[in-house]
Amino acid sequence: MPTGDEQRRDAIADLSTLADRVRRRLYEYVAAQDGPVRRDDAATAIGISRTLAAYHLDRLAQAGLLTTGYARPAGRGGPGAGRPAKQYERVRHEVNVSVPPRNYVLLARLLAGAAAADDTGQLRLALIAAAEDEGRDIAERSTDLLSPLVRDGYEPCVVEDERIELRNCPFHAVAEQQTDLVCSLNQALVRGLLAGRGEDPGRAELAPSASRCCVVIHADAASTYDPRVGGMTADPMGVDVPRSLEQHDSSWIDRLL
């Protein structure tokens, strides 16, 4: 079994794969998509040859930053459809490096577990209030809505109806064990961010999905919020629409290398 030092060295090696600019652009393209990406599509998107794209994509997969699979293009099947094409998708687990070693995830799990075990609900309410206050503080230090969401790892994506979806949950490791609490804190943070900007916090709706963060930000308020249950009651007239691929640019990888 690998020691802590060996695991850190492996993580550093994995992340160093992104130091190559072409490889990083490919990773960011794959990460921005809603589903698996073929080599041809990735090559076309960033303007390189299919052979070069395949080489870099496979390097990312070997580093554990992408997963791979095989499938035929939609609508093709049966005799003459050809062999399934190799596809790539971002992994869900995170790769972290801290020098010297730190374990903030463990601390977060301890706090989340304590809140979940508090039968009075007071600790949960205190955490939600702290999350809203933090959102307001973030708003005071920001000039727009998307930049702080990018900076804090939410990967905001604006869809066709001007709704903002958050492609990534920065607290995923804790959310796997304390989903309800973490989703409530995500929502409270975004509500505080909106309120701090003088915007309607009711735009932040709790709408969990396996493929993204649990919060979406509507163009107009579409729900009511009750911190006692840590959730929202959706507008019965709300209608879901397909997601677009528009992605707000970020440079978060630069801060890791």
Are 91 and 136 contained in the same domain?
no
Domain stops at, among 99, 117, 143: 99
For the stretch 175-230, pLDDT in tens is 989 999 999 999 999 999 999 999 999 999 999 887 789 999 999 865 545 554 44
Structural domain of 58: 4-99
Position 239 in a domain: no
**Model pLDDT, residue 78:** 55
Are β-strands 215-217 and 223-226 bridged in parallel, bridged antiparallel, or unpaired? unpaired
Position 256 in a domain: no
Are 95 and 109 contained in the same domain?
no
Grouping H, G, I as helix, E, B as strand and the rest as coil, residue 32 is: coil
Instruction: Evaluate if residue 130 carries a pLDDT over 60.
Output: yes
- What is the overall mean pLDDT for the chain? 82
Which band of pLDDT confidence, cut at 50, 70 and 90, is reported for residue 237?
Answer: very low
Are 94 and 200 contained in the same domain?
no
Which band of pLDDT confidence, cut at 50, 70 and 90, is reported for residue 125?
Answer: very high
**Tokens coding 77:** 């099947």
Which band of pLDDT confidence, cut at 50, 70 and 90, is reported for residue 7?
Answer: low
- Give the residue from 141, 135, 126 showing the smallest Cα distance to 228: 126
CB 8 within 8 A of CB 101: yes
Q: How many domains does the chain have?
A: 2
Are 116 and 191 contained in the same domain?
yes
**Cα–Cα distance for residue pair 181/24, rounded to 1 Å:** 33
3-state secondary structure 112-124: HHHHHHCCCCHHH
